[in-house]
Structure 1
């Protein structure tokens, strides 16, 4: 019997490519998104079932899981891909934006996992893949909220992997970076502050130039990230973290691992201080 995967955030980017790859490999796929009516591609694939799931609505989470189990009989893998990034100076960010960043990237993931765990416990099997980011391992200016949410997701995922170990339920973390779906879109025009504070302008301009430097590197495609997600879901190992990114991303990940703490901080600061 074909295995079954549920993917959140399947409307575009990494989520859509992940749903397609699993379907191509013969899996039954529950592709979830906030508005399935807008899909123009996945609905045409025979072994893909579309379901509405908004990670900020607990009722929709439970409904999507129940629909998937009714359609395919079980769920073997959950991929928490839905998420987004708030970019901008923290002081200028409103309370509602702060709450939404954590509601989507952290609380939404937790609620989805909590909703599926009874099914996994009953089966004494299951795999949970949480899509994090390089920003779950290293920080950059203007992404304080996004990095905070991904650091929280990584800590939660790692601890949960121990908690579920005795139940034969695996937890894995995917860390993409330098992809065509994330930091490449960051610019001064994409800042999400509620209030603009002029005192930050020199820093924001310098950070914008740093992000431009990052965009000059070749980008990793959503398809490549999806291929890594499929590998993580099917490799049969207890590996916790899987990373993929471009050369700039790899340099920052290696700096985090190899430099002492202050050397690493100085390395990150050098990226924008040269433009101040």
Structure 2
């Protein structure tokens, strides 16, 4: 029987690449995005159904999940919708702060919450969430973005105990730098007092080597979906693997010194 994956944030980047990858493997894909009427690629592919979903809209989450379940069984929910907010905390408005958490954290929580009763009744199901290497280590001028990803890490680990009671899994995908058009949707908050630090950090991430493609991350998502393992975290991309291993090896304080050295040149 054909399996089904539900994907949020499928209009670009990792979400779109994952939709295409699973569809190519014969899965039925429910690809959701804020404006499916503007999609010009996924709508042409077999095995893909487009539905509208803004993960900051609670009523739309409920409506879209209800419509999705009316189409047939769902095996996996891939919580991928999100964006990057960069800038010193002093530069970030309250509206920007709230919007970041509403999208990156509460959006994931609410979509998951909407599917749990269905998975619980089936005593089966898997949630996969895109977090980030920024959920494993903190970086300059990205405190709110990092906070949203760290929140997902703690939430996932805690939730795993509840879900395990009903045969439901939860896994995190933790990429480093990914060559996607996510940068076009990034928000950068500027403040003259932190301009030098911001520019240095942007230069560091802009010159990153071993940048992973969205298609490579999609392969990791497929691995997580099909390997049958009880693994919580999938660190992916050579940069993320190396950085995380380095943090574990040298400890928190030495790692902070290392990051300071990176942005100070």
TM-score by length of 1: 0.91
Does residue 242 of structure 1 match 2:238?
A: no
Deviation by residue 1:185-232 (Cα, 9 ceiling, x = unmatched): 49xxx7622xx4322233233323323332xx1421100000100110
Does residue 205 of structure 1 match 2:199?
A: yes
Separation of aligned partners in 2, 1:112 and 1:97: 21
Equivalent position SS for 1:164: helix
RMSD: 1.7
Separation of aligned partners in 1, 2:64 and 2:222: 21
Separation of aligned partners in 2, 1:182 and 1:147: 19
Equivalent position SS for 1:121: helix
In the other structure, the counterpart of 1:272 is 263
Worse-superposed segment, 163-172 or 58-67: 58-67
Does residue 51 of structure 1 match 2:51?
A: yes
Does residue 146 of structure 1 match 2:145?
A: yes
Does residue 192 of structure 1 match 2:188?
A: yes
Displacement of 1:35 after TM fit? Answer: 0.5
Alignment: residue pair count? 264
Equivalent position SS for 1:40: coil
Separation of aligned partners in 2, 1:45 and 1:207: 39
Superposed structure 1 runs of 4+ greater than 3 Å apart: none
User: Mind listing any 5+ residue stretches in structure 2 that lack a counterpart?
Assistant: none
Equivalent position SS for 1:253: helix
Displacement of 1:182 after TM fit? Answer: 7.5
Separation of aligned partners in 2, 1:103 and 1:44: 31
Separation of aligned partners in 2, 1:176 and 1:197: 28
Displacement of 1:37 after TM fit? Answer: 0.2
In the other structure, the counterpart of 2:215 is 223
Equivalent position SS for 1:56: coil
